[in-house]
Chain A
């Protein structure tokens, strides 16, 4: 299984809602990532987890809260988002966090904040 799955595919939420994005991989990878991608722009790194511990937080606002309950699962909890947070949220995984480790990306969750 060389797939990263993300649910839901699409999410529409109001600014007062709380929702979560889910990412799963069964490749035995020990590094997992969240990226944010605005239209016609490259992905921007948000968080990196290595061995279930947060290793990088790219100064992301606290309304985004990541969680890595186990080595196969990565969540992104959303609360009090703003319309400018509307974007494609991509999850990725890799064997490790070294420079030569390729990343496997999921298809993304398209988030719309009203």
Chain B
């Protein structure tokens, strides 16, 4: 199974942009890249996903490298409510729902 690698922790100031990196050098052509976040005592929450092109939604943007071996989740203006563990996940389009979670990045947002 393809694996993702993320920094253990990152810090940001409130209202500044945050770039969360993820390496997935063994990604296969059929893997989608998903990002989820998990607040304390809650289940993971979907943030965004993509295959090859960059993606934007109301929560964040996802920038995918041209060779797909890395991606970056961009929070445009961090708020205190964005403090969470962010997981970069590969979801296989051919393997019946299997998702491989990275170890996650703990984001701290300072006021």
Contacts and interface: CB of A to CB of B under 8 A. Distances in A.
Interface of A: 4, 31, 33, 41-45, 48, 50, 55-56, 90, 92, 94, 96-108
A105 B43 contact: yes
Contacts of A4: 43
Contacts of B53: none
B44 A90 contact: yes
B98 A56 contact: yes
Interface stretch (B12-20, B62-70, B74-82, B99-107): B99-107
Nearest to B42: A107
Contacts, number: 67
A55 B95 CA distance: 9
B49 to A, nearest CB: 6
Contacts of A92: 43-44
Contacts of A33: 97
A43 to B, nearest CB: 6
Contact of B97 (A42, A94, A105): A94
B43 A108 contact: yes
Interface string B9-44: 000000000000000000000111010100001111
B102 A105 contact: no
Nearest to B90: A99
